[in-house]
Structure 1
Amino acid sequence: MRDAIRVVFTGGTIGSRKSGKVIDVDDAMAFELLGRYRGLEGARDIAFDTAQPYQALSENLNPAHWTELIACLLERAPEQYRGIIVTHGSDTLPFTAAALSYAFAHAPVPIVLVAGDYPLGDARSNGLRNFAAAADFIMDAALPGVYATWANDPGACAVYLGTRMTEALPFTDRFDSPYGTPFGYMRGGLFEPAAHEVNPEVSALRANRTPVASPERVRFSTGILFIRPYPGLDYRLYRFDGGGGAARRKPAAVLHGLYHSATANVQAAEGFSSSFEEFAAYCASQGIDVYVAPVKAADADQYRSAAGFLGQGMVVGLPKISVEAALVKLMLAYGTFDSAMERDRFLGGSVFFEHHEGGQW
């Protein structure tokens, strides 16, 4: 088993077939992927051990699927294998990658997520390239932790840290990473780290990491409300005390995204509430924790609006972290830890390089 790779199929486009104009998951595609890989010129002679906990298009996933996937990965000790490949859909790939990163930050072998932009039967698909790059990364780099591979271009295949992958762009299907650079690239079957001041050294990936919670204990809360800012956002739409209608389910916490300059609107307009500060005060009165991400470092220059809502003590800033990684981290914190002290310790620490040290922020 030690020279084998475990492949966990979960569906997504890479596990789908097109019928007419409709794309949907197909159980047979999981094993077609392995057959196509073995037929590749230069494919490695690898034994594959397979599992299939569920088959779903990733837009339909919820935190219960993450828990099921974690349980599947725990069925057999990861160290029995050279590494693990998880096939996945592209829509929610960064979120699952972050979830596995927090649960398996201490994994002794690589866990690599792969997806595809088109079904395997489509000549445009990068799914097989992404899978081959994952196999090469496991066999060549052998770096412990959680990663994802994705071919944005016809050339090299990018390797992302599991907590540093942002959602794919519409129209181009290209993934990105904070500061616009992945962790590295696969070229000719070999891993090449990407030189950038925010990327950790390869040696840091080999260092021992202590899990913040055992994977068996990890759970994800569905009580986190995520709000993106936009011009004209009316916070009266987010009332949980019965004002203006029937009482709604009260969230355990709110993650409020920010504009690219780490700002949000703090000026109320006549006729509707568009002030984030007022909304934060309302949440405080309801006992709801409010977080914002990404915020700049404490010693960085801030716009007046950001300095205002961060300085009032009603909002907790999550610095130097993507909103995807921040959202999943909050879901885990509120689903796993009972005490505020445990949650704060988890949220304040870096589990698997989700905090981008260095850089202009």
Structure 2
Amino acid sequence: MDYNQLKSDIIAYSKTIGIDKIGFTTSSTFDEMKNKLIRQQELGFQSGFEEPDINKRTDPGLILEKPRSIISIALAYPSKLKNAPLSKRGERRGIFCRASWGEDYHTVLRDRLQKLEEYIYRRVPNARCRSMVDTGELVDRAVAQRAGIGWSGKNCSIITPEFGSYVYLGEMITNLPLESDAPMEDRCGSCNKCIDVCPTGALVQGGQLNAQRCIAFLTQTKGFLPDEFRNKLGNRIYGCDTCQTVCPENKGKNFHFHPEMEADPEIAKPLLTPMLRMSNKEFKEKFGKISGAWRGKKPLQRNAIIALAHYKEESAIPELIEVLEKDPRPVIRGTAAWALGKIGGPGSRQALDKAKNTDQDAEVLEEIEKGMQLLSADQ
């Protein structure tokens, strides 16, 4: 088997199935990443969504027996929304991060990796492959960096010269001995824009993220959003793009290569108030195909309430009062109470007074008190 020719053929085939960039690296352990992950764990900086076994995250041999190389792929996604609807008084809108526009990227990348696997099996019937996207064991960024896809930026994203950091990543471990590509030199230099503008200071230093403070993580949590982050959320419903939008390497980068990744503007920038009363069926019908729906409707509804408070949208007061009085979920009722205090306006005080005497949940009562304090401070 001429593995150099096979590698060239794999690269050529990848272009025919919509893979925008492909790189190859060894299957040796990711020792530097292992040290970083241990440090992250010690500092309490992990999100909790990761694979808990650090050895599995950094040793391909624990995932596929006798691996020889890893193939890394990248697909570019759009950074600009076509026909974006305006958010205006009475019709306030939230925003999903760019990585949640279009069809769930896990589905898109798994399709490309499956096609790549099938091609490899046709060429080498006894090949063994194991593919993964994001939720797999390996750290996508570590693989992509070593495979020459891009460099690991200070914003903790892989930055490619061609597409900036607006790329989805996936990888395939294989027993085929494919020649490695050279890692790319770091180009961030002295630039610290992403660190300087991070809304919550989650980027502790270049390349180190405290996920517990990252808005992208916080929008996915299911409990009450801690007070210190509520005014930082803005109109974000899911995710955060700030550290990408300020990156000089992303200037002018906007690619519309894949139809599946094209956003429905009404989903990417949804009206906030209708989100408060969505049934599970309506939620799945509207948002079910995007990656931002993976945690269900509760976190997104909570974030929508906070976004309405951010706008001080008085037209939403009747819906917020209804949520406070009728929603069975304490997190949603409590967040609505806080939002009513933040917005103020007609009816908010009476609604909070009434809920104070009728709600039995201790956390909701605490949020009602916060709402009342906000109303008093505003007078």
TM-score normalised by the chain length of structure 2: 0.26
Q: Which has the larger radius of gyration?
A: 2
What's the TM-score, normalizing by structure 1?
A: 0.27
Higher helix share: 2
Q: Which has the higher strand share?
A: 1
